[in-house]
Chain A
Amino acid sequence: MPEGVGFILFYLINGLIWGLIIALISLGLSLIFGVMGIVNMAHGDIYMIGAVLSFYFVSLFGNFWISLLIVPLIVALIAAPTERFILRPFEGHPSVTMIATVGISFILQQVALATFGGIPKKISSPWEVSFDFLGVSYPGYRLLVAAISTLIIIGVWLFLYRTSLGILIRASMQDKEMASAMGINVNKVLIGTFVLGSVLAAIGGVLAAPISQVFYLMGNDVILLCFIVVIVGGLGSLEGTLIAALILSSVEGAMAAFLTPTEARAMIFIIMVAVLMLRPQGLFGSKRT
């Protein structure tokens, strides 16, 4: 066990890297809520599906990087009809979408349990290099995860702020009716947003698979932190989600140096309650949601 500055830094970096993965997943959650008003309880299970599919591809091809390319495609193919044919009638009603997505969550979890089994499995690290830093040896794959996540987040940002579909999505987030009145093809936006959000969760799952255990309930743990993140950051606020994900995960990571994981999680929860007492709409949320 390392000591001193390096010791705390180790935990802080760990937290920050998880923060980047959590930011990916939470961005998807926040986008889906912002555009469609869906409180997606199945989001964590899409993350789980990403990890499980990745496990299968790794054991099939023996190559992790192929799964990083194929799994998002498969999830996109599942997500599009799910939005169009199952969730569409419920959109805009947070409670109803929450109940409906709980139903989807049950289905995904049980399908994973039936096919993948109930025993946690591990994927070996695809890049077994470690770096020494301030007397701490740090696994290279985790740093790679940080780099990939950062690139994807930048990519999502460029997509939302620089491309025409991104502008349509942001317009729909601000005012769906007005966007529709301006002639925006809302159908395309809705499917596109749900696919994008789900793919982000699935990529999070693929990236997290080698550094955590692949398990059919692994989504529950992650969705809890993601929900805390979007609540603290402000529902539907992308900047808020990103900032809250990085801060909360770093804080949790740093506290994990002194506390048990459950205690650290409880501390994050207390931060959330404090934020809610002061700002019921979250740090960056608008009063409207």
Chain B
Amino acid sequence: MKRGFPFLLVISLLVLGLILPRGARSLMVQMMAFSIFAMAYDISLGFTNQCSLGHSVFFGAGAYGTILPMLHWHFGVLPSVFIGFLLGLVLAFLTGLISVRLSEAYFVIVTAIFSAIFHLLAMDMTWLTGGDDGLSVTLPKIGFGPLKLSLYHPLGTYYFVLAFLLAGYLALRTIVGSPLGMIFVAIRENEKRTAFLGYNVRTYKLIAFLISGTFTALSGGLYAVSLRYATADFFSLYWSIIPIVWCLVGGLGTLIGPCIGVALMSLFQYYVSAWWTYYLVIFGVLILLILRVSRRGILGYFIGRGARGGWRL
């Protein structure tokens, strides 16, 4: 049963693409792109206890890194997504170098400042980003030898993003299950003791931050591809906060948890934002309630049997 579950999930995702109506399918595409973001964010918050508010930088960079090469140099979709991915890596490295060596409170604040400054700059540099209006792009067809995949075909985007989601999940699963992932967890559980064991905590925190930032950029790129559009708004603090909500709703320290969080929150947003403009109030209340119950999120609460100190700080 337990072994068959992931297999079943993949099959149902594959089938869902065929049977879902148009609106639900595009919501699903969005959820799959966000799931990569949520898992990537959890590598930072759930696995190494680095509460970053700067992930909108990578999300926005991934989106523009993907859109701009297609727009200006007529790159293909795949190379463009890869460029967005690399841009995320570079930015995560630069911001990580400055921030991972700081203490917890400084880290939180400095990453929030990064997010705010990048948002200001993106809004200001309209010649590059299109500002608030953003930039639209026409997606070229993807060629696999003689086969041509058009992302304008209703199913094209779905399976395109799904492929990345599965690949992203497998990659992150491998990292989390590897000795490197064990070190991440060790840092989360007790940073000082991990340092005593001889691990260079700063380096491993930077590695986690890099992985997290890079996959966030991938998610931003895919989201931009699915919308065929990128806006400076992708850099706003909202995109740094929403992954925290996903992880808290789903559960910290797992990969599936954040995806469940994405699904729940996207459905919630989809239905509630339609009839209530001020639904962010509910977000706020939800954050406070979940934190009161368990700092590992809902799934983490059930796994840890409600251990209050689960998310050690």
Contacts and interface: CB of A to CB of B under 8 A. Distances in A.
B290 to A, nearest CB: 9
B276 to A, nearest CB: 10
Interface string B98-130: 100111111011101100110011011000000
Nearest to B240: A102
A282 B110 CA distance: 12
Nearest to B115: A224
A33 B105 contact: yes
A213 interface: no
A104 B291 CA distance: 12
Contact of A289 (B105, B244, B281, B288): B105
A96 B285 contact: no
Interface residues of A, number: 46
B112 A96 contact: no
Contacts of B103: 280-281, 289
Interface in B74-108: 98, 101-106, 108
B179 interface: no
B117 A110 contact: no
Contacts of B117: 224, 265-266, 269
A198 B69 CA distance: 47
B120 A262 contact: yes
Contact of A276 (B110, B281, B288): B110
Given A96-B291, A262-B124, A276 B284 contact: no
Contact of A94 (B104, B284, B295, B311): B104
B152 interface: no
Interface stretch (A131-139, A146-154, A163-171, A227-235): A227-235
A224 B291 CA distance: 25
Interface string B49-78: 101010000000000000000000000000
Nearest to A105: B284
Interface string B261-290: 000000000000000011011011111100
A98 interface: yes
Main secondary structure of the interface of B (DSSP, over half): helix
| Chain B: interface size category | 35 or more
Contacts of B106: 231, 235, 276, 280-282, 289
Given A106-B284, A262-B121, A265-B117, A39 B105 contact: yes
**7 A-B pairs with least C-beta separation:** A103-B287, A106-B284, A95-B51, A94-B105, A107-B284, A103-B284, A262-B124
24 contacts: A90-B291, A98-B51, A99-B291, A102-B241, A103-B285, A104-B284, A105-B284, A106-B283, A110-B278, A110-B281, A224-B120, A227-B112, A230-B109, A231-B109, A265-B117, A265-B120, A266-B117, A269-B117, A276-B98, A277-B98, A280-B101, A280-B103, A282-B106, A289-B106
Interface of B: 49, 51, 53, 98, 101-106, 108-110, 112-113, 116-117, 120-121, 123-124, 237, 241, 244, 248, 277-278, 280-281, 283-288, 291-292, 295, 311, 313
Given A39-B105, A224-B120, A280-B106, 18 more contacts: A39-B109, A94-B313, A98-B53, A100-B287, A100-B288, A100-B291, A103-B284, A103-B286, A104-B288, A105-B284, A107-B285, A227-B109, A230-B109, A231-B106, A231-B113, A235-B109, A262-B124, A277-B98
